[in-house]
Structure 1
Amino acid sequence: MSLSIKTRLAFVAPLAAIALGGCGINSIPTAEENAKAKWADVQNEYQRRADLVPNLVATVKAAGAQEKSILVEVTQARAAANTVRVSASDLTDPAKLAQFDRAQSTLGLSLQKMQEAYPELQSQEGYKTLQSQLEGTENRITISRRDYNEAVQSYNTRIRTFPDAVGAKIFYGAKPMATFQATSAGADTAPKVNF
């Protein structure tokens, strides 16, 4: 009993589809796109913060000339933070992510100094509102960075484990993505606030 070519193909085709499906044909690009979308969320939250800073600076500027040094520091930190860009193609470069984090951390520290140096401005309703929005933005950034790291972990695990690793290597040439890590000295220690 010899099977015809059509009959053999009828048996082999479903088995090939199952084998290819088990090799990450669809799951690798899905995981990669999820990580890229999470990175876009991180950038969106940083952009939200960058958009808030000019309003905060304008409010502080109205409070008087004695704030000039803090305003200059915040403005320079904001400008520096906006010059460092990380695209989806840079997500495999830990150095690019570290450079991005340093610029964003400098801006965050400048904003923190401004908040600590001017407790008397808290009585101004506009400043209080913007400060609250800024705090919310910092929380959103933290959540977005965490979500990005989780998506990268999922992607990196998928491209390194069997059977998806087969499809990742053969079909996509997938490379691990870099997670977002704190690079600022003392980032693991909560800052002390003294009024």
Structure 2
Amino acid sequence: MTRKKFPGWAIALIAVLVIVLIGGVAVIGPYNTMVGYDEQVSTAQANIQTQLQSRLDKINELMPAVQGSMNQEDDIYKDIAALRSNTPGINMDADGKLTIDKNASIKELENADAASSQMIRDINIAQEAYPELKSSDLMKDFMTSVEGIENRISYARDNYNEDVQAYNVYIRSFPHNIAASLFGFSPKEKFEASSAAQNAPVVKFD
């Protein structure tokens, strides 16, 4: 009894299917990993936004007292005008409160970080000239809150950059770079804090 031989086209088809299956498995694994890394970066960026909003919330709370006590020539007024009018990443809501743009790019968040950080530094300098403001409950609350906020912002920036580093290394490494190119995963930019923002501004009371 003779065995039937598979026709050549059937053998070729099986070979193609095996290659496709192996290729699919080889691509699906890296793809899922890249999705995971990408989500980590997105979460880390959202954490930066949250902490920057915490800083703005404290500034918003303090502004009525600041504007009621300081001269319009003080740098604080210039900071307020800049934050409200031309700082990428910062919006002003219907009540005049400063808010972080939820759709801000990482570059816009860098600008928002630098501008709001500078405002806290100017508050630190200016409040020395206004004893009544310096001794107010609002300023005391601001003082006790700002250090923790600045530490959380610094941690969020560092965490974001670590996640970006891991993501970028993965998608640039062979053979993951092939899958990254196929599915449109591109390198991400790290958060570049300004030299002033890298050193957390602290409001001091003697």
1:45-124 maps to which residues of 2 (within 5 A)? 45-62=51-68, 64-66=69-71, 69-79=74-84, 80-81=86-87, 82-83=90-91, 85=101, 87=103, 90=105, 97=107, 100-119=109-128, 120=131, 121-124=133-136
Identity of paired residues, percent? 25
- CA 1:161/1:56 → structure 2, altered by over 3 Å: closer, same or farther? same
Partner of 1:94: none
Q: Is the 8 A contact 1:77 1:107 kept in 2?
A: no
Residue 74 of structure 1: CA displacement? Answer: 3.5
Partner of 2:47: 41
Structure holding more helix per residue:
1
Greater relative CO (CA pairs within 8 A, separation 6+): 1
RMSD: 3.5
**Cα distance per residue 1:40-63 (max 9 Å; x no partner):** 11112112222221211123345x
Unaligned runs of 5+ residues in structure 1 are 92-96
1:19 matches 2:26? yes
TM-score (norm 1): 0.73
**Amino acid of the residue matched to residue 129 of structure 1?**
D
Q: Is the 8 A contact 1:50 1:78 kept in 2?
A: no
Paired positions, count: 184
Partner of 1:180: 191
TM-score (norm 2): 0.70
Unaligned runs of 5+ residues in structure 2 are 92-99
Q: Distance in 2 between matches of 1:136 and 1:157?
A: 32
Structure with the greater alpha carbon radius of gyration: 2
Residue 76 of structure 1: CA displacement? Answer: 1.7
